[in-house]
Structure 1
Amino acid sequence: MNCHCGNDKTYKACCEVFHRNNGKTDTAEQLMRSRYSAFVLANGNYLMATHHKSTRPTKEKKAIVKWAKSVQWIRLEVLESTKGTQNDTEGTVTFNAYFFENGNVDVIHEKSAFVKENDQWFYLGLSE
């Protein structure tokens, strides 16, 4: 079975690596994909650890995990990545995350901002 994030690799060879190493990814897109897989698995600890400390929604962690468990995740579609490579310190990833909730298919469309600090990528929030 392919990884939740949509790559052709298995979860064990893909996002599980990042879930076990506290989000030490090479690129912003890898981090975004691993965060999507964390939503699918309702892994709140990973979502908090990879969310930049300046915008981390610590108080909402339980609600985020509860919501992530309440929906059926369908698929992730990465539309565009800007910067966010190994040599960058910032980047954006635009994506659609499809899910099934209350009998309807819905989608989160987001352009996410990422920042690299101490050689580690973090999710910052919505990009301008």
Structure 2
Amino acid sequence: MSAATDPCPCGSQKTLGECCGPFLDGESLPLTAEQLMRSRYCAYKLQKIEYLRETLWPKYQARFDHFGVSRWAAENHWTGLKVLSSEKGGTTDRQGTVLFEASYLSCGTLQVHREMSLFRKKSGRWYYVEGLAQDF
């Protein structure tokens, strides 16, 4: 596990304690859709699987495959995150999208997952709703 003084895996150039760590530890909530997306990437890298379930849109949480997600997160070596664009998803918005690329090693091969993610805010909290894989 990473320490609070380690660089944040999301690539923000901040420490984990200054960036995504407080979200992952339940000390605070992401204020924007992009912050939530970055913290979810960190959750995959740091294998904080319960955080992924908790930040999933509420109606989908009951069907969350904890074992499958945990296995997939552990089997891959996460190497980087690039946020390509975001639309809305600010502190006053109720919905937003984030386009990102997450790089990882799988079976010795570098893979890049590019996704347009939809986020919605409910009762003041951001949630991941769904993602659409993007072609390059």
For the aligned pair, the TM-score class normalised by the smaller chain equals: over 0.9
Preserved contact between residue 114 and residue 122 of structure 1 (Cα < 8 Å): yes
What SS is found at the alignment partner of 2:96?
strand
What SS is found at the alignment partner of 1:69?
helix
Moved more, 1-10 or 82-91: 1-10
Pairwise CA RMSD of aligned residues? 1.7
Q: Give the aligned length.
A: 128
TM-score after normalising by structure 1: 0.93
Which of 49, 71, 77 does residue 44 from structure 1 map onto? 49
The aligned counterpart of 1:126 is 131
Name structure 1 gaps, 5 residues minimum: none
Instruction: Tell which has more relative contact order, 1 or 2 (C-alpha 8 A, sep 6+).
Output: 1
The aligned counterpart of 1:14 is 19
Q: Write the distance in 2 (CA, Å) between the matches of 1:68 and 1:74.
A: 12
Name structure 2 gaps, 5 residues minimum: 1-5
Preserved contact between residue 53 and residue 64 of structure 2 (Cα < 8 Å): no
Per-residue CA deviations over 1:48-73 (Å, capped at 9, x if unaligned) read 00001223364411111111011110
TM-score after normalising by structure 2: 0.88
